[in-house]
Structure 1
């Protein structure tokens, strides 16, 4: 029996991946780095510590990493955060987990500040057993730190948990923590891409997973 589901948020419970990509695009442009939105979107799911090195050469990184991340945070919170919406049936899915005796936990590369806003957007109050954010781990996804931290807080062994995420980085990070991942395509990745990354099954979004809850890996 699965005891806990370690849920990503961006692109999984809220529709925000493209908004994050836009915010990064603005921030990079401010540093004189012009990027295509889709190239950035494919990196969303990683924390800034892992995303910035994809686009910034090593010899510039020490100079721009911190100000770039700070500017991106400002751009997102002032210009994009108010546009984030919950994905269909996100709250109902969390309620169903509780009814099934499965502990919902948040395992996100988002900041604690953004996490607080997301919880209000979805209406998660009283539904989440534990949570970790980028502030609780030295390394962001695809490193396992965030998943390992939330498992420790829950007191649940990896074999008794599953992860839920929308990117290959979720599956990679959870896998390194010894946890299998259910994938959803709501963040822009295809079923084929998520399966190739290690997801054991993939759904269109959490609404479809809720609809097929009884036959999903959550109940096996």
Structure 2
């Protein structure tokens, strides 16, 4: 069956906000007396505070966890929210999905207040069919609740929908809801991590996905998910065409050219210059 709904994550997918969230979390943990490394926080980005804080402070009390989450929200709103900007072609991709006849849903672990701000920032009034946020559910991603509520709001079955997101938690939540995911590497996770999590395709960003919309899972054959793994129903994704510069990301590194005989002799004569 054709795709009838596209569920967009927002932070790190449509808007460039992940590092600002990392900074706000770093301030919040520090203020509570539990400083965390930014890399450790970054690895949890994509979860809501209900799951992010326990992942980093598993023995903290519920009161401490809530204070940290509240502080993060306050820091983000007062310091960073007005600095957030959309990724290139983010709004154009959402509009293109809308004009293709699909339902458009914003589904995020953020609060509804932030979603409303981003709809205005992206100038998507009248384009969005529904939203789902942490305010609609008890548990954030990677639990499936946010995506399950999104499907309910637009009355679309899981196998008629697709998610677009930037984190492994988007992919995990979607799979648990029975939905497949297109990943974008504009967030904290690379292509391999997104594919290993279960993404059926990975693009550099939403601009790359828009540039190749017709040859992507959005414009190609329908897709299915069984809750554990996902695959294209028909032919696999098309290979890049000559001149393409924003296609699905390659997983195979290009090997360096072999050394000439002269270069090999020079390297042997100067082993201290060789990089191990």
Q: Using structure 2 for the length normalisation, give the TM-score.
A: 0.78
Correspondence list, 1:64-143, <5 A = 64-143=64-143
Which position in structure 2 is the counterpart of 1:57? 58
CA distance in 2, matches of 1:104, 1:184: 18
CA distance in 2, matches of 1:57, 1:180: 30
Which position in structure 2 is the counterpart of 1:212? 212
3-state SS of paired residue (1:181): strand
Shift of 1:172: 0.2
CA distance in 1, matches of 2:58, 2:51: 13
3-state SS of paired residue (1:33): coil
Which position in structure 1 is the counterpart of 2:258? none
CA distance in 2, matches of 1:103, 1:57: 38
CA distance in 2, matches of 1:100, 1:113: 28
8 Å CA contact retained: 1:132, 1:150: yes
Structure showing greater relative contact order (alpha-carbon pairs closer than 8 Å, 6 or more residues apart) = 1
3-state SS of paired residue (2:126): coil
Shift of 1:103: 1.3
3-state SS of paired residue (1:12): coil
List, as ranges, runs of 4+ consecutive aligned residues in structure 1 with deviation greater than 3 Å: none
Task: Indicate whether 1:178 and 2:178 are aligned.
Answer: yes
Give CA-to-partner distance per residue, 1:135-186, whole Å, 9 cap, x none.
0011100000000001011100001000010000000001000000000001
8 Å CA contact retained: 1:164, 1:184: yes
Shift of 1:98: 1.4
CA distance in 2, matches of 1:132, 1:88: 23
Which position in structure 2 is the counterpart of 1:25? 26
Segments of 5+ residues of structure 1 without an aligned counterpart are none
CA distance in 2, matches of 1:178, 1:11: 22
8 Å CA contact retained: 2:45, 2:188: no
Q: How many residues align?
A: 219
Segments of 5+ residues of structure 2 without an aligned counterpart are 222-276
8 Å CA contact retained: 1:53, 1:61: no
CA distance in 2, matches of 1:173, 1:159: 14
CA distance in 1, matches of 2:14, 2:52: 21
8 Å CA contact retained: 1:162, 1:179: yes
Question: Larger % of helix: which?
Answer: 1
Which position in structure 2 is the counterpart of 1:161? 161
User: Considering only CA atoms, is the larger Rg found in Structure 1 or Structure 2?
Assistant: 2
CA distance in 2, matches of 1:131, 1:51: 22
Shift of 1:63: 2.8
3-state SS of paired residue (1:131): strand
CA distance in 1, matches of 2:61, 2:9: 27
CA distance in 1, matches of 2:207, 2:85: 14
